[in-house]
């Protein structure tokens, strides 16, 4: 039996953000994802803004191919999933807005901009054929 749950917490100790690799400091808000998938238990922590980005991209993964986004460094996994599978314009706008509201995630912003540019090239390529 698979299940998935997420909850908001305030850190009492230092945690590592699974989504961006950054540090979640004591007193900082974070999201904890727990569950069982394919018989394996997981429990990961993400900075709240990173978790919001993860949830939005995960929705898009399910829409595109019926498979969710793995809990790992978003830069690696997003590149893998979205360089050949185009994101819709609304998802791009949503993620850009979340990133713009959180300057501490600048490294994710730069990475996402490269992916969005690559997707524009894919669309242009497809229309040229």
Write out the chain's pLDDT in tens, 129 residues.
Answer: 688 899 999 999 999 998 888 899 999 999 999 988 888 898 999 999 989 988 888 887 777 777 777 666 566 666 766 666 677 778 888 888 888 888 878 878 887 787 777 766 655 555 555
CA distance 13 to 59: 30
Give the pTM.
0.75
The structural domain count of the chain equals 1
Q: For residue 8, what are the domain limits?
A: 3-128
- C-alpha neighbours within 13 Å on the C-beta side of residue 98: 19
């Amino acid at each position: 039996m698979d299940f998935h749950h997420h909850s908001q917490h305030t850190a009492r100790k230092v945690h590592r953000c699974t989504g961006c690799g950054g540090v979640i400091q004591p007193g900082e808000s974070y999201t904890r994802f727990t569950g069982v998938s394919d018989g394996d238990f997981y429990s990961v922590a993400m900075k709240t803004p990173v978790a919001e980005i993860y949830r939005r991209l995960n929705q898009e993964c399910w829409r595109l191919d019926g498979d969710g986004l793995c809990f790992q460094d978003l830069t690696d996994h997003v590149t893998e999933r979205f360089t050949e599978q185009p994101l819709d314009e609304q998802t791009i706008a949503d993620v850009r807005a979340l990133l713009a509201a959180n300057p501490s995630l600048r490294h994710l912003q730069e990475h996402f901009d490269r992916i969005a540019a690559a997707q524009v090239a894919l669309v242009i390529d497809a229309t040229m054929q």
